[in-house]
Amino acid sequence: MDLSLTDEQQEFRALARSFLEAEVVPHRREWDRAEQVDPALLPKLGEIGFFGLAIPAEYGGLGGDDLTYNIGIEELGRADSSVRGIVSVSAGLVGKTILAHGSEEQKQRWLPGIAAGTTLGCFGLTEPEHGSDAGHLRTRARRDGEEWVLSGSKIFITNATMADVALVFARTGTDETQQGPRGISAFLVPTDTPGFGRSLVHGKLGLRGQATAELSFDDVRIPADALVGEEGKGFRYAMETLDKGRISIAASCTGLIQACLEATVEYATGREQFGKPIAGHQLVQDMIAEMSVDVDAARLLTWRAIDLLQRGEPFGVAASKAKLFASEAAVKASNLAIQVFGGYGFIDEYPVQKFMRDARVMTLYEGTSQIQKLLIGRAETGISAF
């Protein structure tokens, strides 16, 4: 087993880190306080290639493999999880779904802008009463001649107030054979369509720099060709995309753990107590060692899932294991970092309290830790836990 990166992947990682250190890290506290990432950053991210890593060259992307894409996601997670979320939702959840299941016209219309960072997408799945139980969502799409008419709402939608297009999952099935997951379809909805509403969610614990909003659909009319793939297959498309998205979350959390480790080592080797750097105290070394082991374990679990994906083998359970471990380890690492920083870790002069706030949501979205355990347990036993 060869775990080394190619020369091209190493060069991209170096380029990505250099760019993010210059363009993101100095501003992350400011964006966190303002609850908004500077929109001018997005085309710059596009120029470097972050948005286009998973999109083929024929649609304006770089055509990178899944490992290279997730190297970029890890570096974004190390720099600022809010920026990472903007990229991974638009390029990953939305872009990859269009690429896998969209028509050629849909690909030509949306993918070049997504790859350039000039078009932003959001992923409209979660509803106020249906988070983990997405198979019973209530947003509806009814056919009216050559149009679909959408009604309903979504909640906690990343990029929603900034997005140009929303990938919306709605119920189209009406008879008894099309209830639950079997009656859900996917649609590409331009956000300037009449009746499309969005309301920003304020006061989040973490990921404050990325726009999170509630969506509403008041008889939103879209053409028949806005349907993505086949009618009734939307839930399957969403689950396929979220399996890949869980790998991205694991990669992002790996980057966040790496950031916690680096910040803690820098602080602990520079701060003195009892006549020596606090890094020389055994209990501090214990906490640093835990972070160091966890970042390696998280990265290896993530790369294992990527390897299965790239070889065309089943990867869903591996993705769940990577997401579960890495997200919980990110929460632990950020808490350990604050413990080492002491009182200074409690204020935003230092980044570790932001790391803690950003890490906490990673155990919730794209499948909670409890859902990941159910999926893993089901795979191990062959018995459904639902």
pLDDT in tens, 15-27: 999 999 999 999 9
Beta-carbon contacts of 297 under 8 Å, excluding residues fewer than 6 positions away, are 325, 329
Q: What is the pTM of this model?
A: 0.94
Look at the block and give the residue holding tokens 């499948």: 367
Name the CATH superfamily for 7-119.
Acyl-CoA dehydrogenase/oxidase, N-terminal domain (1.10.540.10)
Question: In this structure, are residues 188 and 98 in contact, taking their beta carbons and an 8 Å threshold?
Answer: yes
Residue 157 to residue 118: CA distance in whole angstroms:
19
Angle ∠(93,197,59) on CA atoms, nearest 5: 35
**Six token digits for residue 355:** 């790391």
CA distance 284 to 19: 31
- If we measure between CA atoms, which residue out of 220, 229, 120 comes closest to residue 164? 120
Give CATH for domain 236-381.
1.20.140.10
Amino acid identity at 109: R
Say how far residue 103 (Cα) sits from the centre of its chain.
24
Q: By three-state DSSP, how is residue 357 classified?
A: helix
Between CA 265 and CA 369 the distance in angstroms is 29
Residue 91 has pLDDT above 60, yes or no: yes
* Mean pLDDT on 112-135: 89
366 tagged catalytic: yes
Q: How far is CA 61 from CA 20, 263, 300, in A?
A: 20, 33, 27
Q: How confident is the model at residue 177 (pLDDT cuts 50, 70, 90)?
A: low
Closest CA to 159 of 29, 24, 16, 37: 37
The conformation of residue 1, written as its DSSP 8-state character, comes to -
Bridge partners, 188 (sequence order): 167
Beta strand 147-158 pairing with 165-171: unpaired
pLDDT, average across residues 266-280: 86
| CATH fourth-level superfamily of 123-231 | Butyryl-CoA Dehydrogenase, subunit A, domain 2 (2.40.110.10)
The predicted structure's pLDDT at residue 384: 73
C-alpha distances (whole Å) from 41 to each of 46, 117, 200 are: 9, 9, 20
The continuous run of DSSP H or E covering 123 comes out as strand 121-124
pLDDT per residue over 28-73, tens digit each? 999 999 999 999 999 999 999 999 998 999 999 998 899 999 999 9
Q: Which of 205, 297, 286 is nearest to 254 (CA)?
A: 297
Arithmetic mean of pLDDT over the chain: 94
Other Cβ atoms less than 10 A from the Cβ of 223: the count is 10
Does 385 score more than 60 pLDDT? no
Note the helical H segments in the chain: 7-23, 28-34, 41-48, 66-79, 81-87, 95-101, 104-116, 234-270, 282-310, 316-341, 352-361, 369-381
Residue 180, pLDDT score: 72
Nearest partner of 212 among 164, 248, 162, judged by Cα: 162
User: What are the E-state strand segments in 137-192?
Assistant: 140-144, 147-158, 165-171, 184-190
Q: Are 116 and 109 in contact (CB under 8 A)?
A: no
Burial of 238 by CB count in 10 Å (0-12 exposed, 13-18 middle, 19+ buried)?
buried
- Whether the per-residue pLDDT at 176 is higher than 70: the answer is no
Provide CB contacts within 8 A for 328, sequence distance 6+.
363, 369
- Which of 127, 214, 328, 366 is an active site residue? 366
pLDDT tens track for 342-366: 999 999 999 999 999 999 999 998 8
Q: Where exactly are the structural domains of the chain?
A: 7-119, 123-231, 236-381
Q: Report how far residue 137's alpha carbon sits from residue 176's, in angstroms, rounded to the nearest whole number.
A: 16
Q: With pLDDT > 90 as the criterion, what percentage of the chain qualifies?
A: 87
